[in-house]
Amino acid sequence: MFSSIKALPESVRQYLLVTGNYWAFTLTDGALRMLVVLHFHQLGYSPLAIAMLFLFYEIFGVITNLVGGYLGARIGLNKTMNIGLGLQVAALVMLLVPSSMLTLIWVMMAQGISGIAKDLNKMSAKSSIKMLLVTEPSNGQTDGEAKAGDDVNAKQQKLYGWIAKLTGSKNALKGAGFFLGGALLSLFGFTFAIAIMAIALTLVWVLSLFTLKRNLGKAKNKPKFSEIFSKSRSINILSAARMFLFAARDVWFVVALPLYLGSQFGWDHYYVGGFLALWVIAYGLVQTQAPRFTSKSDGSAPGGRQALLWACALTAIPGLIALALTFNISPQLSLLAGLMLFGAVFAVNSSLHSFLIVNYASDDGVSLDVGFYYMANAMGRLIGTVLSGYVYQVAGLEVCLWISSVMLGLTAVISIYLPKD
């Protein structure tokens, strides 16, 4: 097995290492979220108090993506990825204190560190793929414009395939992490479960420190801090679309949907958690197949035109679910079937966006552009999470769904201005 891995091109070995780091991190991230939710639910915390535990996680995601891209370009993506792994270990260790010290503020701080770690890790993984593909030798030399164009298309398709697999596998593993967290809590209790994850991730971290390529993604020209804001029109437009896309998902998915499933359908806490974990796994699997659905008829990589079409296809789904619930048309079937359809179409949108940002990003200092874009992504999640709790409390799930459709409509309108190809 090891001889087979050594025989692979250097770029592929590094891709496998980056992906392995991302997988290990994602598994612990999903498990940690489920452990915290279930443990503090057992302690009698209210749903609002549990949601507050993740407030710093989302807020620091916005800041980290903005600053993390700058750090990646200055010090290298290998260092930012390893810093992310180290911070996640630190966040886990913080939760090993005696139960009397696990106050709301302490856990919020630990989750804030975990949020920084998660976005450093994600930004590094997504940015690394473009750098690895740029440094990979071409399979053939081109001597004319047609051949050069074919070579560019081939590399774009390969980039899309790598991005789709990384993004989709990450979300599938995050869903698996939900199951892992519940299983560890049942078998070992909160403290031992956290300790097991901390030890396992520490081993991954040490391996990464010694094997991840040095200076990966480090910009040749040191960027200034003022350059953290993208000057690319395409990236600014895509970032705005991404913000509304993820706000549209989280405005009904994060808080409103789990509470609705429990209160209206009588599902218990574990049933809700298990169902959402399966949804996330299926969502990730669809993401890995996105290139099959979105590539152009001539086999070339998609552009802004495809992003617009898929955003339009998604826009109507939350509104149709809201109508079915309002008029009491098989509410449980309508909601679950609509959720499955929404998840599949949203997964394609998300995977397509993830490819476009890496494709648009500059080769030198790619993490600056990717970090700015995922800052918008984190801002969308934060907006959606806050609105999800507030709107559901004052107006119900149906209004959350209508707001989701409006935000998706804005995503589609913004996508009109993306480069068509």
CA distance 421 to 131: 22
The pLDDT confidence band at residue 273, using thresholds 50, 70 and 90, is: confident
CATH superfamily of 2-138+146-218+227-415: MFS general substrate transporter like domains (1.20.1250.20)
Q: How wide is the angle at C-alpha 91 spanned by C-alphas 78 and 178, nearest 5°?
A: 95
Cβ atoms of 389 and 252 within 8 Å: the answer is: no
- Per-residue pLDDT, 230: 65
The pLDDT confidence band at residue 411, using thresholds 50, 70 and 90, is: very high
CA distance 396 to 250: 14
Each domain of the chain, given as residue ranges in start order, spans 2-138+146-218+227-415
- Please choose, from the candidates 131, 160, 154, 149, the residue with its C-alpha nearest in 3D space to the C-alpha of residue 356: 160
Q: Where are the alpha helices (DSSP H) in 266-303?
A: 269-288, 290-294
Tokens read off for 409: 């409509």
Rounded to 5, what percent of the chain is helix, strand, coil?
Answer: 80, 0, 20
List pLDDT tens digits, range 73-102. Answer: 778 888 888 999 999 999 999 999 998 888
CA distance 416 to 304: 7
CA distance 66 to 119: 10
Cβ atoms of 130 and 69 within 8 Å: the answer is: no
Contacts of 85 (CB under 8 A, 6+ apart): 21, 24, 25, 117, 121, 201, 204, 205, 208
Residue for token pair 């992504």: 377
List pLDDT tens digits, range 146-203. Answer: 555 566 677 788 888 888 888 888 888 888 888 888 888 888 999 999 999 999 999 9
List pLDDT tens digits, range 351-395. Answer: 999 999 988 887 666 777 888 888 899 899 889 988 888 898 889
Chain Cα centroid distance, residue 258: 20
CA distance 71 to 75: 6
What's the Cα-to-Cα distance from 400 to each of 217, 218, 249, 256, 342, rounded to whole Å?
40, 42, 10, 8, 14
State the amino acid at position 89 in one-letter form.
Answer: V
- Please choose, from the candidates 398, 416, 24, the residue with its C-alpha nearest in 3D space to the C-alpha of residue 207: 24
Burial 292-323 (b: 16+ CB within 10 A, else e): ebbbeeeebbbbbebbbebbbebbebbbebbe
What average pLDDT does the chain have? 84
CA distance 217 to 132: 9
Q: How wide is the angle at C-alpha 125 spanned by C-alphas 119 and 126, nearest 5°?
A: 90
Q: 275: helix, coil or strand?
A: helix
List pLDDT tens digits, range 114-150. Answer: 999 988 888 888 777 766 665 555 444 444 545 555 6
Query: Range with the lowest mean pLDDT among 38-52, 271-285, 343-357, 381-395?
Result: 38-52
